[in-house]
């Protein structure tokens, strides 16, 4: 029940390539995608042809993640609420209606007894200090813009997370299929080793080692199954259970090259978080301007009309009264109020500016780290493509030849 020396040649090449990599202390882990490429290139497995109607593409996963993302909707709702309040804050206060009973005699409460008795109706309109209304409206508009930028940042983060989940599942799906394809090979290798041990061409250690390799493969499949379940759950969080359970395509999506280092550096100033901080700085500047307006007087205009009944001693009917008045604030005690409010708003503005500068510094640090890692991974990919893969194939062919001769 042995196998032909030339049977399952592609699977054997894959196995030998794996062993040559393992001997170089490389292990099949979630981030070491080089081994998967070795398997893929060696086997050229038929599972590359999938039903496109059933697969979950990266683009579809992105669309599903952004369709009902609650955090984005929350930021947009907050922005809409603040924008609506900006309109309200730019309007004059509601006028006040006044009704009063004046100078009624307490002995009879007769409206005609005393000449000063009257029923008054009035209206009063307040006018806030300086350009306070316009400043408050612009401040709210800036804060609304900050919330919209946070929504844009959340959209980018959601895209990043769903892409990472999709790519992680893509890796483990490929790893599982490749290892499963070689499962039969390991079983046959055990049988071959047993047969050659039976005729004295190998010792017992070779049999035990072949059995150990088969057991290690089973263990690897178990680990891959655990990883598959975990990354599938992460992907379902963004796409929903039905879409997240669908298989992924076998062909790796074509990803665009990132911009140049200089272009990325310039783009940092347009990052949504930086734009959000800039909007908050604008709101802080409006807060300082509003504090300066507090030094100006506010005023109110009012009109009253008093109705009188009865007659004057001359026999003529008593005339009604019309009154008009102006109320003006007198901000003369400034040291404990206006000065303090202005100083506090200036401190808050400086704090916002420092927060923006710190955010920009953090983004530059992240850019430096990610860009250096991307360059390092490019170097590793070049090493795999130009050296390691070809050497592994040659090693596999040489080992296969030795196996055939044996």
Local confidence band at 30 (pLDDT 50, 70, 90 cut-offs): very low
Check residue 21 and give its pLDDT: 36
Local confidence band at 202 (pLDDT 50, 70, 90 cut-offs): low
**By C-alpha distance, which of 255, 274, 269 is closest to 353?**
274
Question: Would the pLDDT of 308 be above 80?
Answer: yes
Which has the minimum average pLDDT: 2-6, 181-185, 223-227, 323-327?
2-6
Check residue 348 and give its pLDDT: 96
Check residue 201 and give its pLDDT: 66
* Structure token digits, residue 140: 């709210």
Instruction: Please indicate whether residue 334 or residue 281 has the higher confidence score (pLDDT).
Output: 281
Mean pLDDT on 326-334: 90
Check residue 326 and give its pLDDT: 95
Which has the minimum average pLDDT: 31-40, 63-72, 335-344, 381-390?
31-40
Q: Distance of CA 209 to CAs 54, 189, 203, 216, 220, Å? A: 41, 10, 10, 10, 16
- DSSP secondary structure string for all residues of 282-327: HHHHHHHHHHHHTTSPPEEEEEEEEE--SB-TTSPBPPPEEEEEEE
Please provide the average confidence, as pLDDT, over all residues in the chain.
Answer: 83
Q: Using one digit for the tens of pLDDT, what is the confidence trace for 106-117?
A: 888 898 888 899
Give me the phi and psi of 303, to 5 degrees please.
-135, 135
Strands (E), 144-283: none
Local confidence band at 44 (pLDDT 50, 70, 90 cut-offs): very low
Q: Using one digit for the tens of pLDDT, what is the confidence trace for 213-239?
A: 778 888 888 999 999 999 999 999 999
Give me the phi and psi of 202, to 5 degrees please.
-135, 160
120: three-class secondary structure by DSSP: strand
Q: Which residues pair with 299 in a beta bridge?
A: 127, 328
Mean pLDDT on 2-18: 38
Q: Using one digit for the tens of pLDDT, what is the confidence trace for 138-177?
A: 999 999 999 999 999 999 999 999 999 999 999 999 898 8
Question: Would the pLDDT of 4 be above 70?
Answer: no
> How far apart (Å, rounded) are the C-alpha atoms in residues 36 and 29?
10
Q: Using one digit for the tens of pLDDT, what is the confidence trace for 50-109?
A: 444 589 999 999 999 999 799 999 999 999 999 999 999 999 999 999 999 999 998 888
Local confidence band at 336 (pLDDT 50, 70, 90 cut-offs): confident
Alpha helix segments (H runs only) across 68-131: 70-89
130: Cβ–Cβ under 8 A, 6 or more apart, which residues?
293, 296
Residue 330: which region, alpha, beta or left (left: phi > 0; alpha: psi -120 to 50)? Answer: beta
> How far apart (Å, rounded) are the C-alpha atoms in residues 61 and 163?
8
């Amino acid at each position: 029940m042995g196998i032909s020396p030339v049977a399952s040649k592609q699977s054997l090449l894959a196995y030998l390539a794996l062993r040559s990599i393992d001997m170089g202390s490389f292990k099949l882990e979630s981030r070491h995608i080089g081994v998967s490429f070795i398997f893929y290139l060696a086997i050229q497995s038929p599972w590359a042809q999938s039903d496109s109607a059933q697969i979950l593409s990266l683009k579809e996963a992105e669309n599903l993640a952004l369709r009902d993302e609650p955090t984005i909707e929350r930021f947009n709702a907050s922005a809409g609420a603040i924008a609506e309040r900006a309109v309200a804050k730019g309007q004059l206060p509601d006028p006040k209606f006044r009704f009063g009973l004046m100078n009624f005699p307490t002995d009879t409460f007769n409206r005609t007894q005393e000449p000063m008795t009257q029923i008054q109706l009035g209206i009063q309109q307040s006018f806030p200090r300086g350009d306070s209304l316009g400043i408050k409206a612009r401040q709210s508009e800036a804060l609304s813009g900050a919330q919209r930028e946070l929504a844009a940042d959340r959209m980018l983060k959601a895209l990043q997370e769903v892409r990472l989940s999709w790519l992680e599942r893509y890796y483990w799906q490929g790893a599982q299929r490749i290892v499963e394809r070689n499962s039969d090979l390991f079983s046959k290798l055990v049988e071959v080793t047993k047969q050659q041990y039976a005729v004295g061409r190998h010792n017992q250690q070779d049999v035990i080692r072949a059995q150990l390799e088969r057991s290690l493969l089973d263990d690897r499949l178990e680990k891959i199954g655990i990883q598959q379940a975990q990354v599938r759950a992460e992907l379902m969080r963004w796409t929903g259970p039905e879409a997240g359970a669908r298989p992924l395509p076998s062909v790796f999506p074509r990803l665009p090259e990132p911009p140049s280092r200089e272009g990325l550096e310039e783009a940092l100033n347009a990052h949504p978080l930086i734009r959000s901080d800039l909007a908050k700085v604008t709101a802080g500047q409006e807060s300082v301007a509003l504090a300066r307006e507090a030094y100006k007087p506010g005023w109110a205009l009012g009109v009253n009309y008093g109705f009188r009944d009865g007659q004057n001693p001359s026999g003529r009917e008593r005339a009604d009264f019309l009154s008009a008045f102006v109320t003006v604030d007198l901000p003369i005690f400034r040291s404990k109020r206006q000065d303090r409010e202005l100083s506090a708003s200036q401190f808050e503005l400086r704090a916002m500016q420092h927060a923006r500068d710190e955010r920009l510094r953090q983004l530059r640090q992240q850019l430096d780290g990610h860009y250096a890692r991307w360059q390092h991974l490019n170097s590793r990919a070049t090493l795999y493509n130009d050296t390691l893969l070809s050497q592994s194939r040659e090693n596999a062919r040489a080992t296969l030849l030795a196996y055939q001769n044996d």
